[in-house]
Amino acid sequence: MLRRLQFVGLAVFLVVAAFSTGADFLFFLVYLGILVVGGGYVLTRFGMADLEAGYILDRPHAQVGDTLRATYTVRNTSRMPKPWLEVHNPTSLPVPLPGRALALGSRSERAWVARVPLTRRGHFRIEPMVIRTGDPFGLFESFASVGSPQTVIVYPAVEVLPRWRLPPSTLEGSQASPERTLQTTAMVTSVRPYAPGDSFNRIHWKSSARQQELQVKEFDLEQTADVWIFLDLDLVHHTGRGDKATIETAVRVAASVGNRALSENRALGFTAAGVKRAVLPADRGPRQQQKLLQLLAAVEGDGSMPLRQLLMEGLTRLRRGMTAVIVTPSLDRDWIRPLTTLHRRGISAAVFVIDPLAHEQETRRVRGLAGVGQDEREAHEREARALRYSLAEHDLPTYVIAPSEPLGVQIVSVQPGAAQRVGA
């Protein structure tokens, strides 16, 4: 806009000066300016004509550490060349898709591939492709949007835990689960009326004939040691920034533990309470892993429900033979009390404490800030020591997770009663 105002001011000055003095040179400049402005307008006006463009993403879902590829194609179908085109995609990705400036000859085509690393989990939006052109002097511009917006879901990284085993559980007899599964198993428990979206292979034809309406079979999971993950999203206890935040480490722990449980053919359930309550009923298989990763890609440490309340509400759905996995950065001891009854009920447990002090120190180091003060460090050590004794008193296996080492190195199976040191 400033350039246009400057050009308009110069043009008015030349016209007034030319007609005031009658100098041929000034009239030459006026005619040249008219030619430049007219040529720039025509170039911009027809710069977007007869253009075909599009882009394709190689995947709608990925994991942290993967590379997203976008393939672009721009084609000029007219005889008039396109001397300058700018192509880019506005996006909320942490690393934006790189744009490109190019020129197209008559009836020519350009194609290229843009690659960006996916460094952070989450749901990201990629806006339609924007093509821009204009004149060399920047007086006129023309835009066009191509395609529709797309969403890319980046799942958290899943790490292998080769030296860790889920706490063993013993099943005595069997009982029906109060929650039905969408997975087809050999245990048909009941039938219900058909609902839109039900698979046709689940229709029970004999019951349908008797009821004179379609009836669908409901299944129950065979009785194995289910695993329930309780993820603490209480804003009060989460700290750190970026990859060094406690919420990011907690999500990686939940994803890795869930992957280990599913690989052992256990049914996996998940509970967390952020701004919205997230409950994933227990199920097994690749589809359950995808559901878990989709939930973990969106969670943030912005909840207001204390871990104690989350456990008191969630542990009621656990029965004998199950395993409870608690992931939290909290050093408070009030959330231990709901866990004290699990052993008597035949339920095993494992606690993953995301060390808040280590994450805060690492965040400050990366950002070039001063470290944690001595008073804060001593207060943290006292709280960690008290939490360690309380967990050991109830024979709860405990794992302290720092931000600097891979999970496979930090999470190693321990014997009951031999809890690792908390806050080391």
Query: Range of 24's domain?
Result: 10-40
- Cβ atoms of residues 394 and 341 within 8 Å: no
Asked if residue 419 has pLDDT above 50, the reply is no
Tell me: pLDDT of 166 over 90: no
pLDDT tens-digit map of 334-377:
999 999 888 888 899 999 999 999 998 888 888 888 877 888 88
pLDDT of residue 186: 47
pLDDT digits (tens, 9 = 90+) for 299-323: 998 888 999 999 999 988 888 889 9
Phi, psi (rounded to 5 degrees) for 10: -65, -40
Mean pLDDT, residues 132-137 taken together: 77
Local structure of 178: helix, strand or coil: coil
Residues 250 and 376 in one domain: yes
- Higher pLDDT, residue 6 or 362: 362
Pairing relationship of beta strands 215-220 and 141-146 according to DSSP bridges: unpaired
Dump pLDDT digits (tens) for 226-278: 899 999 999 999 998 888 899 999 999 999 999 999 998 889 999 998 888 88
* Residues 396 and 330 grouped into a single domain: yes
> What is the pTM assigned to this prediction?
0.75
CB 331 within 8 A of CB 152: no
Q: Are residues 332 and 396 in the same domain?
A: yes
Asked if the structure places residue 169 within a domain, the reply is no
| Mean pLDDT for the stretch of residues 374-396 | 87
pLDDT > 90: percent of the chain = 36
- pLDDT at residue 113, rounded to an integer: 94
Q: Which residues pair with 215 in a beta bridge?
A: 193
Q: Are residues 347 and 378 in the same domain?
A: yes
Q: Which residues contact 186 (CB under 8 A, 6 or more apart)?
A: 222
Number of residues that this document lists for the chain: 424
**Structural domain includes residue 178:** no
Q: Which helix (H) or strand (E) holds 142?
A: strand 141-146
pLDDT confidence of residue 180? 47
Is 179 part of a structural domain of the chain? no
Is residue 114 within 8 Å of residue 98, measured between CB atoms? yes
257 plus 344 within the same structural domain? yes
Indicate if 403 and 271 belong to the same structural domain: yes
CA distance 104 to 106: 7
Instruction: Supply the pLDDT for residue 421.
Output: 43
Looking at 220, 244, 272, which one is the last position of a domain?
A: 220
Q: Are residues 83 and 208 in the same domain?
A: no
In CATH, what number is assigned to the domain containing residue 146? Answer: 2.60.40.10
Question: Does 418 map to a domain?
Answer: no
C-beta separation of 399 from 277 below 8 A: no
Position 370, amino acid:
A
Q: Residue 418 has what pLDDT? A: 43
What's the pLDDT score for residue 259?
A: 94
User: Which pLDDT does position 126 carry in this prediction?
Assistant: 93
Same domain as 334, residue 272: yes
What are the start-end ranges of the H helices in 91-238? 205-211
pLDDT at residue 265, as a whole number: 84
In a domain, 270, yes or no: yes
User: What pairs with residue 117 in β-bridges?
Assistant: 67
Confidence of residue 184 (pLDDT cuts 50, 70, 90): low
The CA-based diameter of the chain, rounded to the nearest angstrom, is: 109
Per residue in 77-128, pLDDT (tens digit) is: 988 888 888 999 999 999 999 989 898 888 899 999 999 999 999 999 999 9
Greater confidence (65 vs 404) lies with: 65
Q: How confident is the model at residue 188 (pLDDT cuts 50, 70, 90)?
A: low
**pLDDT at residue 326, as a whole number:** 95
- Condensed to tens digits (0 to 9), the pLDDT of residues 7-62 reads 667 667 666 776 777 777 776 776 677 777 777 677 777 777 888 899 999 999 99
Out of 176, 196, 220, a domain closes at: 220
- pLDDT-derived band of residue 388, with 50, 70 and 90 as boundaries? confident
Residue 320 lies in a domain: yes
DSSP conformation class of 303? B
Q: Which of 155, 171, 197 is the last residue of a domain?
A: 155
Query: Could you tell me if 192 and 326 lie in one domain?
Result: no
CATH code of residue 338: 3.40.50
Task: Mark whether 213 and 238 lie in a shared domain.
Answer: no
Q: pLDDT for 241-252, tens place per residue?
A: 888 899 999 999
The tokens describing 71, both together, are 């393939």
Q: Are residues 24 and 113 in the same domain?
A: no
Q: Which helix (H) or strand (E) holds 10?
A: helix 2-21
Give the pLDDT score at 417. 41
- Count up the domains in the chain and report the number: 4
Assess if residue 172 is contained within a domain. no
Domain-embedded: residue 170: no
Work out the mean pLDDT of the chain and round it to a whole number: 83
> Which band of pLDDT confidence, cut at 50, 70 and 90, is reported for residue 420?
very low
Pair 270, 360 in one domain: yes
